[in-house]
Amino acid sequence: MMDRQLSFHGDESGVIATNDDASESKRSCVKLNYYRDDYIANFVKISEKKAPEINRGYYARVKGIEICVEKFLKKTGEKCQIINLGCGFDTLYWRLRDAGHLVQNFIELDFPTVTAKKCYQIKRNKVLLDKIHAEDGEIRFSPTDLHATNYHIVGVDLRSIDEVSNKLKQSDVDFHLPTIFLAECVLVYIETANCNNLLKWLSSNFSSAAFVNYEQVNMNDRFGEVMLSNLRARCCNLAGVEACLSLETQISRFVQCGWNGARSWDMCQIYDSLPIQERQRIEKIEMLDEGELLVQLFQHYCITVAWVGELFQDIEITVEKRLSTLMID
C-alpha cells in the first residue's frame, strides 16, 4: 500500500507524527468523558492516559472549533462546504452527521501518508462507511483518496497550489458556496512564503469564506522557547512560527494575504467563553497537578477566525466577569 505516491521528505516525518499525538490525546479526552466522539476509536486503537492539563487543553481545542462551526452553520444552513486542511484523523464529518448536519460538501486534505491510513480505516469499517454512503451515489477509493457524494479525502502537499487546486476540483468544490476552512496546528509547519501563497489563493478564489485556525501564539517568551525546543527535538520544525508571536501577528498574516479581516483569541478567552455549567462539569473529571501550567498552555495557543465577504465579519467575544460568550452571529 505504501508506494511511491506516499513518499515524503525526511523533514516531514516529525510533522506527520503530530497527527498520531493529537489523535491519541483526543481519544484520551473521550475515554474520560470530556466530550463525546463515537468515531475516534476507529482510528486510534490504543491511547495512554494523558496529563490532566493536556486533556483539558484538547477539550478546549475541540470545543472551540465546534463552536465556530456551529455558528457558521447557523448562518448558512446546509448550503455550505467545509474544507479541513491537515485533517489527520479528525472525525468532525461523522459527529456533524450525528448532530443532524449534512453539509453540501465536506473535503479533507492531508499528506498522502496520512490520508492513506484514514482511507484504509474507513474502507474496512461499516459504521464509518454507512455514514458517507448515499443511496444514489458510489464511494470511490484509491490508495490515498476517497470520493463519495458529499465527502472527500485527498492526499496533497498544501505547499503546492496547483496540487491543492486540482484535488479540490476532483472533490467537486464550489468556489461560490459559503465555505469554512479548518486548520489545527497546520499553517505553522508551512514555510512562510508557501503559507502566504496558500492563504492568498484561498482568499482570491472563494467569494464567501471563513478560516478557523487553531495554532500556537506568544512564542517569543520563555515558555514559547521551551515549546519550540521540545518540538525541534521531535523533528518538528515550526517553519511558520513568525506568525505565532502574538494575536496581532496571527491577524495580520490573514489580512496581508487578502482576507477582509480577522480576529484572534487565546485559549484562556476561548475556555472562559464556554458555558459555565460545562466548565464546572469537566473541571470535576480530574484534579490539575499544576493549575498554572494549564494557564500557560492556554496562553500559548489561540483560535483565529478570518473572513472573505460579509457573511462572517461580525465575530466577537464578549467577556462578562468569569462567564464569557463566544459570539459569531
CA 274 to mean position of chain CA atoms: 18
Measured CA to CA in angstroms, residue 303 lies from 13, 122, 153, 286 at distances of 25, 29, 24, 25
Q: Is 157 annotated among the ligand-binding residues?
A: yes
Q: Is 138 annotated among the ligand-binding residues?
A: no
Q: Is 78 annotated among the ligand-binding residues?
A: no
Q: Is 215 annotated among the ligand-binding residues?
A: no
Q: Is 240 annotated among the ligand-binding residues?
A: no
Strand 323-327 relative to strand 316-320: parallel, antiparallel, unpaired? antiparallel
Cα separation, 166 vs 170, whole angstroms: 6
Q: Are 259 and 308 in contact (CB under 8 A)?
A: yes
Q: Are 187 and 240 in contact (CB under 8 A)?
A: yes
Task: Beginning with the edge strand found earlier in the chain, give each strand of the sheet holding 81-85 in spatial order.
Answer: 140-141, 146-147, 151-155, 105-110, 81-85, 179-184, 209-216, 301-308, 261-266
**Amino acid identity for residue 167 in this structure:** K
Q: Is 37 helix (H, G, I), strand (E, B) or coil?
A: coil
Cα separation, 19 vs 230, whole angstroms: 16
> What residue numbers does the annotated binding site for S-adenosyl-L-methionine cover?
61, 86, 157-158, 184
Binding residues: 61, 86, 157-158, 184
